[in-house]
């Protein structure tokens, strides 16, 4: 019994990197203004942003880019990811144990979405307005971050502010 508790609950906590992840808020200047890209989680199918544990030998911006490629199939415009905030959520580990996790969020301007990417069979992705995205994400702090986006750089070097209009859902 004690081994079962160790294996299911305690060992995963000790074997993981710190309770810290890096997320990517992917955006573009769409026809209806600023649009953000959400993806579905693999198990619960809720709307989230790409995110993952820090990668050894890669800085936080590089990790955000890699997670966005693997989970959403993005091609960035080429600018450096910009840290725009942090949110907290409870990550449910194998065995059902919640792990309080902080996520640093990096904004990444997107040039295009690829038709094929590593997790394409496991996730959906959709462009939407920041206002719509804020309503769809379950984490209140992430919703506030998306809804109240700061000015973001675009590939032309200008700032842009989140639109309150509704954007399309094309990929």
**Structure-token pair, residue 145:** 């971050």
- Residues facing residue 56 across a β-bridge: none
Write the secondary structure of the chain as one string of H (helix), E (strand) and C (coil).
CHHHHHHHHHHHHHHCCCCEEEEEEEEEEECCEEEEEEEECCCCCCEECCEECCCCCCCHHHHHHHHHHHHHCEEECCCCCEEEEEEEEEEECCCCCEEEEEEEEEEEEEEEECCCCCCCCCCCEEEECHHHHHHHECCHHHHHHHHCCCCEECCCCCEECCCCCCCCCCC
Q: With bands split at pLDDT 50, 70 and 90, how would you rate the model's confidence at 96?
A: confident
Higher confidence at residue 162 or residue 28?
28
* C-alpha 112 chain-centroid distance: 17
Q: Tell me how far CA of residue 107 lies from CA of 24, 33, 73, in angstroms.
A: 6, 16, 15
Architecture of domain 18-156: Alpha-Beta Complex (3.90)
CA distances from 165 to 28, 31, 131, 134, 151 (A): 14, 10, 7, 13, 16
Lowest mean pLDDT among 14-23, 32-41, 47-56, 131-140: 14-23
CB 170 within 8 A of CB 127: yes
**pLDDT class of 51 with cuts at 50, 70, 90:** very high
Query: Tokens at residue 46, please?
Result: 């809720």
CB 22 within 8 A of CB 51: yes
Q: What is the pLDDT of residue 93?
A: 78
What confidence category does residue 160 fall into, taking pLDDT thresholds of 50, 70 and 90?
low
Domain ranges for the chain, please list them: 18-156
pLDDT for 111-125, tens place per residue?
A: 999 999 999 999 999
């Amino acid at each position: 019994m004690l081994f079962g508790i160790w294996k299911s609950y305690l060992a995963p906590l000790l074997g993981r990197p710190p309770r810290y992840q890096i997320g990517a808020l992917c955006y573009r200047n769409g026809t209806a203004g600023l649009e953000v890209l959400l993806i579905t989680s693999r198990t619960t199918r809720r709307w989230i942003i790409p995110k993952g544990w820090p990668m050894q030998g890669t800085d936080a911006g590089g990790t955000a880019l890699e997670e966005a490629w693997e989970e959403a199939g993005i091609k960035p415009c080429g600018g450096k990811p910009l840290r725009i905030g942090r949110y907290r959520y409870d990550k449910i580990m194998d065995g059902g144990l919640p792990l309080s996790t902080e996520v640093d969020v990096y904004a990444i301007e997107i040039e295009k979405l690829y038709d094929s990417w590593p997790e394409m069979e496991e996730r959906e992705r959709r462009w939407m307005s920041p206002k719509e995205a804020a309503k769809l994400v379950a984490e209140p702090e992430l919703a506030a971050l998306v809804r109240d986006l700061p000015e973001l750089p675009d590939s032309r070097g200008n700032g842009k502010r989140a639109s309150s209009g509704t954007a399309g859902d094309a990929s």
